[in-house]
Structure 1
Amino acid sequence: MDDGHDIRAFLSSCEAGRDSAGAEVAACLARIAAHDRAGLTLSAMLRVSPDAQDVASDRDGARRRGVRLGALHGVPIAVKDNIDLAGMPTTSGCRALKAAMPWRTAPALHALLAAGAIVVGKTNLSEFSFEIRSRSSLGGDTRNPFSPSVTSGGSSGGTAVAVAAGFALAGLGTDTGGSIRVPAAYNGLVGLRPTWGTIPTIGVAPLAPSTDTVGTITRSVDDAATMLGLLAAARSPSSDARAGMRVGILRQLLGTSGEIAAGIDRATAALHAAGVEVAAAPDLPDAVLPRGDHIVDEEFGPSFDAYLRSNFRPGTAPASLAAVIAEREFLLEYEEVLRARAAPRSASVRAAILARHAELRSALTRVMESDGFDALLYPPSAVLPSSMENPKGGWAPELAACSGWPALTVPVGRSSGGMPLSAELLGRPYAEATLFALGRAIEAFAARPTPRL
């Protein structure tokens, strides 16, 4: 395992001459070779960048000349393989898309590259981002480095494992219904789902455009704030002023696991120690709870079909979702759902779902205003992963997804079995700075767990 340093520590070492982009990328590539398809067979990576070492050398040369491209100069990152990078296929984990060459790099990723980041590779995911595990026809199952017999979570599980296992210092993923926050939680990392619409999703394979967002998986809250500042083209406030803040605990999401509840107790203690008031929040009404939300059923087919028709160079990818289905080069367990989602959709059904999302936003606003809460606190999953199959973790991740509000997961220690525990904070729209301030308080109280490789 690497020494667990985050972006800030790595860049400080580079400035002091103790580290370099070349050395860090070489170490990342060595860990990939040792543990991705060999060793623990984590299966986090779908493709390793052939020019990563050369780019690192260029970054080091620029540093010696006194040139810094930006806040990520020389930082190795891993990118979920549903985000376009020019010159490399974007597969969504599907064999039918193994040669799909995009026209250009997605604007979100371009912002990180312009700031000096180095892509070490594209990562495995749940095929088409369908599930909360990371299994695909191209990459198989991504394994959790804390316990390789259980899932990494998903659908951005490959990115989370890459960051946790030292294949990269940070990662870029997507979140439609928990796809950043659950794998971040299961791998002891910080997962950020920003306010919906903050980061452009051009050049990103869609799942449900009404809830899709790009987000980050990092080793620290500071790193999440740095990356959001680049992705959103705005400086993210870094104040740690927390005095007078109030956080409400959504107890209806605690579930039955004593260890997960104990993790929330640790987060509460950390917030109290930082001068934050924490109190029980009113339960959300059953009528607005996002259990079994079906927006993906309504939006995936038409949006993915349009994406296939316009996103790739001619002859490199199937021209339509129907063509993908006809080829049957995907996990066949998804055939039924693919056919169902490719069928004509009802505009009225979609409108009804979006109306329920609006009702959820109103209910959350009432809860936040009931006692002057700045954020809500709950576990991102009601269970710890116990196998390679989908964990039945409940609907907590859907709160941020269906409301469009920002959410941040922060590690709070380990279970008795050594698995990471995590807390999730939900904030008001565009209040990511508040989440970062609260998240820093939690991470100062509970050291981030790291796996032993």
Structure 2
Amino acid sequence: MTGPPASITAAATMLARGETTARALLDQALEKLDRDGDRFHAMLAFNPHAARDAEAADRARSQGTAAGPLHGIPLVLKDNIDLAGVPTTSGCRALAGAMPRRSAIIVERLRDAGAVIVGKTNLSEFSFEIRSRSSLGGDVLHPRAPHASAGGSSGGTAVAVAQGYALGGIGTDTGGSIRIPAAFNGLVGFRPAHGALPMQGIAPLAPSTDTVGPIARTVADAELLLAAMGHGVSVSALPRRIGVVREVFGANAAVDAVCATALDRLAEAGVTLVDLPALPADLNPGHGEHIVDAEFATAFDAYLASNFLPGSAPASLDVIVAGEAFLPDHAKALAARIAAKDRETASILARHQALAGHLGAACAALAIDALVYPTSQAIPDDLENPKGGWAPELAARSGWPALTVCAGFAANGMPVGIEFLAPPVNEGALFALARLIEATAV
């Protein structure tokens, strides 16, 4: 057996040349899982049909009917995304047997593209936090610093990709939940524009800002995953002018130093960097009510009522709370969010729209195509929620697409991510910028 490929792109080439098989790729992933055991608490469940699916992919390839570059590629799913025949738990003990009626739309698309689903990954219970702690799986630990959080809420997906349990993964992002763990683990994470991909079959947190997207080892891999999910990225030249959101720098010298070096590389490539003026206080994402508090209970109760096979899931959040089979850390948040059920959201969403309008006007006035800033001002060093700042909320509240890529490493060897944000029409610019950083990161 040849050594495991470093990326989806490399694996696809090896598969096309007959240098490996889908079953071999799956076996390599499972060997890495067996080697690590449950050391990092990344996985919650395994697809009982993964071996069968890999062998079917190999038969199809031998018959000349490979579906495309994802054919035979092992992937993992965050365990708030439905895979038929496997419970969708959101990390909660009360949902340990919650059996979805069908796979999520994006999972059906990935499987139609030939992907092999290895299993489901641990996460922040209900996706509430930016660490990944659940009553079913415990804390997802950082492979480079096992005393620390891997980030969240899609932390298990990020660790699974980083450790080779799969070649790519799918997470969800409401306020940074793809991008933060991707950044902490030296990976690429992409949050599409809100509404760009269907959310059917995915547990809601705040439908007005929920998205689903890839966590991958390379920018090219993220593009392949997106295309298979139904969202191709337009090719774009490297932008000539981008805005730097300076007000989210300054809290962590190690992060700032790595990101400053990345900005230097952009400038050396001919990109003009323009400082973005500070946001008006009333639009600053660090202030004001959060849409999750207003939308979660209503959305999740509707999900419980419609998404699962009869009798396999609790009927409501009230039932979950009454049964006490959930993470005790979330008791106050659950009570507050249930109490806020069916509250009005218009004023919160109006501020989101105002932020998008302000950012759009600033980009037009400064003739810039994208914005850049550190994905997180934190480098995790314990199991608490990382104090990374509000930068990831810019994408969540504007609805714009955002991409994080590894900018380099701090002196202690921990990865640092840099994030690009742009209006949906300039989405391709994010990938052009990320490819440049990826090619020059040290």
TM-score (structure 1 length as normaliser): 0.94
Of 77, 80, 85 in structure 1, the residue corresponding to residue 78 of structure 2 is 80
Secondary structure of 2:77's partner? strand
Structure 1 partner of 2:232: 235
1:338 maps to 2:339 = no
Please state how far the C-alpha of 1:3 moved relative to its aligned partner: 5.4
Task: Give the 3 Å change call, closer, same or farther, for CA 430–199 of structure 1 in structure 2.
Answer: farther
Q: Distance in 2 between matches of 1:35 and 1:385?
A: 21
Q: Deviations over 1:137-196 (max 9, x none)?
A: 000010111111110000000000000010010000100000000000000000000000
Q: Is the 8 A contact 1:226 1:236 kept in 2?
A: no
Question: Does residue 1:272 correspond to 2:272, yes or no?
Answer: no
Deviation of 1:266 after TM superposition, in Å, equals 2.5
In structure 2, the residue matched to 1:429 is 424
Asked if structure 1 preserves the Cα contact closer than 8 Å seen for 2:183 and 2:405, the reply is yes
Amino acid at match of 1:30: E
Q: Contact 1:284–1:367 at 8 Å: present in 2 too?
A: no
The percentage of aligned residue pairs carrying the same residue is 51
Map 1:276-315 to 2 at 5 A: 276-292=271-287, 293-315=289-311
Letter in 2 for 1:429: P
Query: What SS class does the counterpart of residue 282 from structure 1 fall into?
Result: coil
Letter in 2 for 1:29: L
Q: Which residue of 2 aligns with 1:13?
A: 14
291-300 or 211-220, larger mean C-alpha shift: 291-300
Partner of 1:211: 209
Name the residue aligned to 2:382.
387
Query: Secondary structure of 1:18's partner?
Result: coil
Indicate the residue corresponding to 1:250 in structure 2. 245
CA contact (8 A) 2:145 2:381 kept: no
Whether the 8 Å CA contact 1:172–1:217 is kept in 2: the answer is yes
How many angstroms apart in 1 are the aligned matches of 2:134 and 2:117? 21
State the partner residue of 1:25: 26
Aligned AA (1:116):
G
- 1:325 alignment counterpart: 321
Evaluate the alpha carbon distance shift between residue 279 and residue 85 of structure 1 in structure 2; reply closer, same or farther with a 3 A threshold. Answer: same
Aligned mate of 2:136, from 138, 144, 147: 138
The answer as to 2:114 corresponding to 1:121 is no
**Contact 2:293–2:340 (8 Å) recurs in 1:** no
Q: Report the Cα distance in structure 2 between the residues aligned to 1:156 and 1:27, rounded to whole angstroms.
A: 23
- Name the counterpart of 1:149: 147
Aligned-residue Cα RMSD (Å) equals 1.4
| CA distance in structure 2 between the aligned counterparts of 1:275 and 1:167, rounded to whole angstroms | 38
Could you tell me which of 145, 159, 162 is aligned with 2:160?
162
Cα deviation for residue 263 of structure 1 reads 1.8
Alignment partner of 1:369: what SS? helix
The aligned counterpart of 2:396 is 401
Separation in structure 1 between the aligned mates of residue 155 and residue 327 of structure 2, nearest angstrom? 17
2:408 aligns with 413
Gap regions ≥5 residues in structure 1:
448-453
Helix, strand or coil for the counterpart of 1:149? strand
What secondary structure, in the 3-state scheme, does the structure 2 residue paired with 1:413 have? Answer: strand
Distance in 2 of aligned mates of 1:266 and 1:76:
34
Which is worse superposed, 58-67 or 70-79?
A: 58-67
Deviations 1:383-415 (A, max 9, x none): 111101101111011000011110000001111
Cα deviation digits, residues 234-279 of structure 1 (max 9, x gap): 532234x22x521111110112322211222222133234332222
Aligned counterpart, 1:450: none
Matched, 1:365 2:365: no
Structure 1 residues 97 and 264: CA distance shift in structure 2, 3 A: same
CA contact (8 A) 2:70 2:228 kept: no
Q: Distance in 1 between matches of 2:430 and 2:216?
A: 15
Q: 1:218 Cα shift? A: 0.5
Q: Which consecutive residues of structure 2, in runs of 5 or more, have no partner in the other structure?
A: none
Partner Cα distance (1:328, 1:4) in 2: 44
Structure 1: 4+ residue segments shifted above 6 A? none
SS in 2 for 1:132: coil
Contact between 1:207 and 1:296, CA under 8 Å: does it hold in 2? Answer: yes
Residues 1:106 and 1:376: Cα distance change in structure 2 (over 3 Å)? same
Report the 3-state secondary structure (helix = DSSP H, G, I; strand = E; otherwise coil) of the residue aligned with 2:146.
strand
Q: In 1, distance between residues paired with 2:212 and 2:383?
A: 25
Is the 1:70–1:114 contact (alpha carbons within 8 Å) kept by the matching residues of 2? no
Q: Which segment is superposed worse, 260-269 or 309-318? A: 260-269
Is the 1:36–1:44 contact (alpha carbons within 8 Å) kept by the matching residues of 2? no
The range that moved more, 57-66 or 156-165, is 57-66
> Take 1:431 and 1:109, find their aligned partners in 2: how far apart are those partners?
26
Write the distance in 2 (CA, Å) between the matches of 1:326 and 1:4.
47
Distance across 2 between alignment mates of 1:425 and 1:390: 23
TM-score (norm 2): 0.96
Q: How many residues align structurally?
A: 439
CA distance in 2, matches of 1:209, 1:198: 13
Secondary structure of the 2:424 match is: coil
